[in-house]
Amino acid sequence: MARPLHAQINLSALCANLARARAAAPGAKVLAVVKANAYGHGLARVLPALADADGLALVELDAACLLREQLYTRRILLIEGYFEERELPEISQRRLATVVHSEDQAAMLERATLPRPLEVFVKVNTGMNRLGFSPSAVAGVCERLGRSPSVAAIRLMTHLARADEDDGIAEPLAVFESACRGLPYPRSIANSAGVFRYAEIGGEFVRPGIMLWGATPFPYDTAEMLGLRPVMTLRSEIIAIQTLRANDGVGYGASYTASQPHRLGVVACGYADGYPRHAPNGTPVLVCGRKVRMAGRVSMDLITVDLTDVPEARVGSPVVLWGEGLPVDDVAAAASTVGYELLCALAPRVRVVATDVGPIDLEL
Ligand SMILES: *Cc1c(COP(=O)(O)O)cnc(C)c1O
């Protein structure tokens, strides 16, 4: 029998989450963010479930080209743009849209001679201070790019640093507004957190990422409260059971010691599968549908859990590391990280099983 660890990808949940994004941002074009191999879910695998998106947005040029080879015909946006001038002809041939976030990128575009002009999203720095033109430079950049034969259409975009905080959007939106005043171009501002605040944020294009995968972009509102369904469920089984006596240690460094006798379940999943090594004792795991506590350090191939509350657990009992029944956000919180990191880190050695796009459940 094969090692029981596998990630189940629920494509109908993905369809439902996409519908949720569309409903939250009525009238906006939805560019589904699929960077990092669709947040770890496998881009080729999830593509059929994204058929209702108006386009895709990602960072990786090679993945974008592959999408065109698979005859994906809608808009594809490169959200970091390009890194070298020699990428531009391929971007043009493949009809990819691109972000332009810096003077260097703008200059490359102006120097290039392209088979066909590009759709360009000019990125404004509204306080994230990573990528983007300073607000005062935006009008000038748009004017220059508008004259360039390499540019077919201009859009304005920004990425909000604190869209998940109640008081996090007013100031950057005011900065964006003043940078773009009088510029007649369509806009794109909202990530997942922004999609849920679309009424305040607006824009012709939205860029939901994490919400599509059924995790929350917010620190307080859970995915369930937001009407999102988990897409990835990481499943395994108990592959061995130990009976601990009081004071027995478990695993490397004996970071867990039993305070009383109990059974311990050994689960086939470790950090080489993408499970976070820094998840501490007490991190939730589901065994037979019941929540139990991790006991002992995460190792490369295994984790160990306290089976005190699941007397029926046996070798072969089902385990959920995250997904249906155990939000990835809860595991992430226990491990002091975010759902994004856990999903993206799913390791290549984990077998992935996609379930079909069933009837789309539009109960929102
Ligand atoms: C990753 C990314 C998104 C999606 O963000 P989520 O928080 O996952 O919704 C949107 N826009 C840009 C520019 C991004 O890099």
**Is 39 marked active-site?**
no
Q: Which one from 29, 72, 82, 252 is the annotated catalytic residue? A: 252
Q: Is the pLDDT of residue 363 over 60?
A: no
- The whole model's pTM is what? 0.95
Does residue 33 have its Cβ closer than 6 Å to ligand 1?
yes
**Structure confidence at residue 110 as a pLDDT band (50, 70, 90):** very high
Q: What is the model's pLDDT at position 358?
A: 52
Question: What is the best residue among 14, 195, 207 to mutate for testing ligand 1's pocket, by most ligand atoms within 8 Å of CB?
Answer: 207
pLDDT, tens digit, for every residue of 296-323?
A: 999 999 999 999 999 999 999 999 999 9
State the closest ligand 1 atom to the C-alpha of 123, by its place in the atom list counted from 1: 13
Closest-CA residue to 44 (of 8, 20, 72, 19): 72
Q: Residue 208: CB partners within 8 Å, gap ≥ 6? A: 18, 21, 30, 32, 33, 190, 191, 192, 195
**Helical H runs in the chain?**
11-24, 35-39, 43-46, 61-69, 88-93, 103-111, 138-147, 170-180, 192-195, 198-201, 328-334, 339-344
Catalytic residue among 29, 35, 82, 198: 35
- Give phi and psi for 192, each to the nearest 5: -60, -50
> Which amino acid residue places its CA nearest to atom 10 of ligand 1?
191
Banded pLDDT at 166 (limits 50, 70, 90): confident
Question: Is there a catalytic annotation at residue 35?
Answer: yes
Q: Lowest-pLDDT range, 238-247, 278-287, 302-311, 347-356?
A: 347-356
Q: How far apart (Å, rounded) are the C-alpha atoms in residues 249 and 256?
A: 6
Distances (CA, A) of 209 to 83, 97, 190, 294, 354: 23, 18, 10, 29, 19
215 C-beta closer than 6 A to ligand 1: no
CA 58 – ligand 1 centroid, Å: 9
**Is the CB of 327 within 6 Å of ligand 1?**
no
- Residue with the smallest CA separation from ligand 1 atom 1 is 209
Question: Which domains does the chain possess?
Answer: 11-213 (3.20.20.10), 232-355 (2.40.37.10)
